[in-house]
Chain A
Amino acid sequence: ETGVTQTPRHLVMGMTNKKSLKCEQHLGHNAMYWYKQSAKKPLELMFVYSLEERVENNSVPSRFSPECPNSSHLFLHLHTLQPEDSALYLCASSREGHSGNTIYFGEGSWLTVV
């Protein structure tokens, strides 16, 4: 238990569906992240929220839409995905304001697009 909880753990969706991944952190952190982990590829940073403001969007397609309503919750809204979007999506959090803060990860949400 790292204090970062992701739901659902597994999700299967069709290409025309709309679904959301949820992340909640109980560590008192103020920055949250979405990473994508595909087979045979390094982890890719998708979005960064610091103090509830999006500070980075790494050229992620618009079919992925993040939302950070407060410092404890982060969502990833999914719409008209493609089969190549099937991957493990990892949420993470950290405390900003000091250099070199350790980032803590959730257990991930397995997404399969059919």
Chain B
Amino acid sequence: AQTVTQSQPEMSVQEAETVTLSCTYDTSENNYYLFWYKQPPSRQMILVIRQEAYKQQNATENRFSVNFQKAAKSFSLKISDSQLGDTAMYFCAFMRGETSGSRLTFGEGTQLTVNP
């Protein structure tokens, strides 16, 4: 079974600064995918970024980037130039590389607050 651990229940950052959210996972799989989702107060679960385990290059989406360390089973999210709208709960998630009935295993989440 896979497990995902987010060791930071809460974090805060000043607007325009950079913050990094941590995530570690445990799996015996070699083919898998990793995701970061954000859940703002509206509770909509929104995809932020995804990473294929077979790719060494770290994924980037505008102000969001990841530091994927496969050997260490670490998948951190860096948010640059933080904005007030980034305030949300952030979930790290793991998916095995299957083609049917994809399943996400989520971490406990990190509540990020961006302060003006």
Contact = CB atoms under 8 A, between A and B. Distances in A.
Nearest to B89: A37
B103 A48 contact: yes
A41 B33 CA distance: 22
Nearest to A101: B102
A99 B99 contact: yes
B101 A55 contact: yes
B16 interface: no
A105 B100 CA distance: 18
Q: Which 10 A-B pairs have the closest CB atoms?
A: A105-B45, A100-B33, A55-B101, A50-B101, A43-B106, A99-B97, A48-B101, A42-B106, A107-B44, A108-B43
25 contacts: A31-B100, A31-B102, A41-B108, A43-B104, A43-B106, A45-B103, A48-B103, A50-B100, A55-B101, A56-B101, A88-B43, A92-B45, A96-B100, A96-B101, A97-B100, A100-B33, A100-B97, A100-B102, A103-B95, A105-B45, A107-B42, A107-B44, A108-B44, A108-B45, A110-B43
Interface of A: 2, 31, 41-43, 45, 48, 50, 55-56, 88, 90, 92, 94, 96-108, 110
Given A88-B43, A103-B95, 20 more contacts: A2-B44, A31-B102, A42-B106, A43-B91, A48-B103, A50-B100, A50-B101, A56-B103, A90-B45, A96-B100, A97-B99, A99-B31, A99-B33, A100-B52, A100-B95, A101-B102, A102-B50, A103-B102, A107-B43, A110-B43
